[in-house]
Amino acid sequence: MAEAKEIKLVLEDGSVFSGKSFGSHKSIAGEVVFNTAMTGYPESLTDPSYKGQILVATYPLIGNYGVPSKEMENGIPKFYESDRIHVSGLVVSDYSFEFSHWNAGHSLADWLKQEDVPGIFGIDTRALTKLLRDKGPLLGKIVADNQDVDFYNPDNDNLAAQVCTPSKVEYGKGQHRILLVDTGAKYNILRCLLRRDTTVIRVPWNHDFSMEDYDGIMLSNGPGNPAVYQATIDQISKALQGDKPIFGICLGNQLMGIAAGGGTHKLKYGHRAHNHPVQKVGTDTCYITSQNHGFVLDTDSLGSDWEPLFVNLNDGTNEGIRHKNKPFFSTQFHPEASSGPTDTEFLFDDFIGLIETAKAGKAAV
């Protein structure tokens, strides 16, 4: 094995962390964020919500179980959240050059090189994470061979247009027709729907909902600043005038909340990892959730027909909303989590239940 090349991470506050290269040896820029999960880097790296971001893994050892095979199922990769890596770069403390797992197809380093994504190891990720927690979101860049690049803020761009499906795609042949509004949808949302007797019509972020025949709408997760996606918000506003069930996840929660009169703001350092405790409002029930978001919904300005559904027990921020009379609800966390806890996957059953009730009521009339 050739000796790893020198590479460095530079932050906008002037901090510099020197390390070794283990992916594509190139310079890139983005927003530096951290994830505290112990496992699940294949899912994280392919999560479209990380578009434009340099991901710091706080768990020290990364790469020890390699990367899954590229087996296909239902027309999508079986073990990934999308068809490619979306993070701009990966920062770890200790990279394992030896990997072992029953499903490993190749190494993490080889995968990063194949997809032209830089990785850097030998970084004190504990010190880096403490810095990000103290100062909040910081722009950064990975610099290879002194080939400097400008800092880049992904919040200024329409990232959904870069990661969503370019055209309408249909999956499954179930009895319930679900319109999946793709602003950067994770494949596990699609998998969870297909396991529940559905036909899923996946459409781009700016698609006209009124053109489609559907029983319910799924608003997906996605990257960036929700305020950028006005075309999606306008379509959701129209859908809220009707009565067909709507379920929003992560960015979908924020977009539905904006359409319902709420606002959003950026968190100091975001929620990215497993095991976030979330309470259902009005109950003593707590769920353990997986999360990945930098923005959060402000519920104070929601219309009077809306109310909070879940709240984060760590910082009190919103984790979901619901309409008081119509079958609309959303979560900020990820009930479809692949590598994390599955405590809340029942929400997909609740969504299908709302669809069945709505269809039964329509048939009775």
Tell me the longest C-alpha to C-alpha distance in the chain: 73
Q: Which residue of the set 207, 276, 323, 334 is catalytic? A: 334
Query: Which residues, listed in sequence order, are joined to residue 145 by a DSSP beta bridge?
Result: none
Copy the structure tokens of residue 356: 């069945």
Interhelix angle for 251-259 vs 230-239, to 10°?
70
Q: Is 336 a catalytic residue?
A: yes
Give Cα 332 distance to the centre of its chain.
10
Give Cα 330 distance to the centre of its chain.
14
Q: Which residue of the set 207, 250, 271, 274 is catalytic? A: 250
Burial class (CB within 10 angstroms; exposed 0-12, middle 13-18, buried 19+) of 53 = buried
Q: Which residue of the set 31, 43, 81, 336 is catalytic? A: 336
Give the contacts of 259 (CB within 8 A, at least 6 positions apart).
233, 236, 237, 240
DSSP E strands in 281-337: the ranges are 286-298, 306-312, 318-323, 328-331
Report the C-alpha gap between 178 and 176 in whole angstroms. 6
**Active-site residue set:** 250, 334, 336
